[in-house]
Each structure stands twice: as structure tokens, then as C-alpha cells.
Amino acid sequence: MAFMDDLKKFGKNISQKTSDMVEITKLNSAISQEKEKIRKIYYEIGTAVYEQFKAGNNLGMEEKCSQIAEHEQKIEELQEKILEIKNTGKCPSCGTEVSEDTAFCPQCGAKLN
Ligand SMILES: [Zn+2]
């Protein structure tokens, strides 16, 4: 009988542990959701501070804001390179330089990609 009692207790412990694990998983998931909400707010704070920086108001984050400005400058340079590449596209039919956005060559009327 003692064996059966032990077995019941053992089974109970397992199901208890399983429900504990489920509960912990749920709680960890809830923590992750809260952390994600904080990250979004951090992003909003950062954006607001940077907007102030661009408007000439120093909120004590000049260095970080300058770094963002540098990265934005870099993005502009990269976008300009893409435009350059696009603008040097050539018509496969007549070789006229055409914009990548153009559907038909303005010179010979050939269909472009
Ligand atoms: Zn052409």
C-alpha cells in the first residue's frame, strides 16, 4: 500500500511540475511582452529626443544624436549610389542611358525590364 501511495505522490508531483512549467512559460511570455512594450517606448523616447536635437534643442544626448545623424548621412550616400546605378542603366536595344523606372526606352521605344 505504501508503494501505491508513493506512486500516487510521484504522479502528482509530475503533473504539478508540468503545470508549474506551463505557468512559468506563460509568465516568461508575459515578461517578454512587457519588455517589448518597454523597447517600443525607448524607441519613442529616442525618436523624440532626436527630433528635439534636429530642432536645435540639446537634451543632453548630443553624442548619441550626432551618431544617428552620421548614420542618416551614410544612408543618404548609399541611396544616392543606388540612384546612380539606376540612372546609368542602358537600353539593351540602342544603348541609350535610361532610368530603371522607365518602362520603354525614350530613344527607340524598346521595352525595358
Ligand atoms: Zn533604346
111 φ/ψ angles, rounded to the nearest 5 degrees: -75, 130
Distance 85 CA to ligand 1 centre (A): 18
Distance 73 CA to ligand 1 centre (A): 35
More confident residue, 20 or 89: 20
Confidence of residue 88 (pLDDT cuts 50, 70, 90): low
Spacing of C-alpha 83 from chain mean position: 24
Q: Buried b vs exposed e over 79-101: b needs ≥16 C-beta within 10 Å?
A: eeeeeeeeeebebeeeeeebeee
Tens digit of each residue's pLDDT (9 = 90 or more) over 9-49: 667 688 888 899 999 999 999 999 999 999 999 999 999 99
Distance 28 CA to ligand 1 centre (A): 61
CA distance 89 to 110: 14
Burial classification of residue 112, based on how many CB atoms lie within 10 Å of its CB (0-12 exposed, 13-18 middle, 19 or more buried): middle
pTM: 0.54
Distance 77 CA to ligand 1 centre (A): 29
